[in-house]
């Protein structure tokens, strides 16, 4: 299993970001937190069945305006 920690932009809904990517095959989301950073950014964790799925999800997030980073 591979876990991706996603940081969302201020004002976004981390749960909605989690739901969007959690809908992919082999991905589940958990523990979303809104406004956890001093600038208002949030977090959501995506659990992927393997590293190949995680790489695919990271590529999809590269064009997402609500995602600041994905580790």
pLDDT at position 68 over 90: yes
Whether 6 and 45 have beta carbons less than 8 Å apart is answered as yes
Overall average pLDDT of the 10-28 stretch: 95
What pTM, to 2 d.p., does this model score? 0.91
What per-residue confidence (pLDDT) applies to 53? Answer: 98
Place of tokens 């937190």: 33
Tokens of 65: 């305006």
φ/ψ (deg, to 5) at 60: -65, -35
The rounded percent of the chain whose pLDDT value lies above 70 is 100
């Amino acid at each position: 299993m591979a876990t991706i920690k996603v940081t969302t932009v201020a004002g976004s809904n981390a749960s909605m970001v989690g739901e969007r990517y959690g809908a992919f095959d082999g991905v589940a989301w958990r523990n979303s937190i809104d406004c956890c950073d001093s600038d208002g950014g949030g977090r959501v964790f995506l659990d992927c069945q393997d590293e190949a799925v995680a790489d695919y999800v990271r590529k999809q997030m590269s064009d997402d305006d609500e995602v600041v980073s994905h580790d």
